[in-house]
Chains A and B, each alone.
Chain A
Amino acid sequence: MQLAAIAEALSLSPDHGSFKDIEVKGGYSSDLLSDVMGKAAAKSIWVTNQIHPNVIAVASLIDAAAVIIAGGVQPEEGTLKKAEEVGIPLFTTDLPAFEVVGQLYQLGVRGTARSA
């Protein structure tokens, strides 16, 4: 599924029109960085409540398709800067993580855990 279609369906902000042709192969949700690092498959959309810059380091290392920071919390300045630097699409939403994951699932996005 295309990231642009997901962003539109969930009214994610900011509206990153520049993120065209990014394929989302599945999803992962966790606030534990080692868990994401070890288990989330490449090209996953990652839903989290963490807001600090190391989120982007992890997202980039696992080749995440995008990060959604859920729950109406704002990412730190350094997180936004780093996301832009390394080219990871970063969205925020007021929806709680559970709602985000539910909506993603309804759109056809499925969980992508690598076997440990």
Chain B
Amino acid sequence: MPAVGGLDALISVTYDIVANDFVRAGEAASKIKRLLQQLGVEPGIIRRAAIAAYEAEMNVVIHSYGGRIAANITADSIEILCEDSGPGIPDIEKALQEGYSTASEDIREMGFGAGMGLPNIRRSAEEFSIESACGQGTRLKVKILHKVGD
């Protein structure tokens, strides 16, 4: 397997995410993690990418009608893009607050809905952006740089 240092082509993968499928939930993040391991990416960077991918994927499973997640990997960075088809986030500022969650009681009993997902994603990445509009879905984009330590 090539080391990331020798990776000059862009590697891209995309996975569909099905709403409310709690058995498959996390598989996309796991696949992205495995790919990064095969590419020889440093464990601390893999961990950060895994956190971002997992939390983004779970948000689509729990809060959206479904969507997909993509990872674009270059020698410099790992970009994770996650989009869904709605219902969107009414107040992004609020959604980004630690502890804020609209998850139902059933979801919370499973250990989700701690309101730590978006904060975890933000902490894991050098670049973070989220766009959302009611009725239009949510688009999350993060970039993790290989060069920066954990």
Which A residues are in CB contact (< 8 Å) with B111? 31-33, 48, 50, 54-55
B51 contacts A by Cβ under 8 Å: yes
CB-CB contacts below 8 Å: B56-100 with A = 58
A67 to B116, CA, bound (A): 22
Would you call B114 and A35 a contact (CB within 8 A)? yes
Q: How far is the CB of B149 from chain A (nearest CB, A)?
A: 13
Would you call A52 and B22 a contact (CB within 8 A)? yes
Partner of B26, one of A32, A34, A54: A54
A48 to B112, CA, bound (A): 13
Look across to chain A and name the residue whose beta carbon is closest to the beta carbon of B61: A54
Would you call A34 and B112 a contact (CB within 8 A)? yes
Binding site for A on B (CB under 8 A): 22-23, 25-27, 29-30, 33, 43, 47, 50-51, 54-55, 58, 110-112, 114, 116-117, 120, 123
Instruction: Write 14 A-B pairs (CB below 8 A) sorted by A numbering.
Output: A33-B58, A33-B112, A37-B54, A38-B116, A38-B123, A42-B47, A53-B22, A54-B22, A55-B111, A57-B26, A57-B27, A57-B54, A61-B33, A86-B30
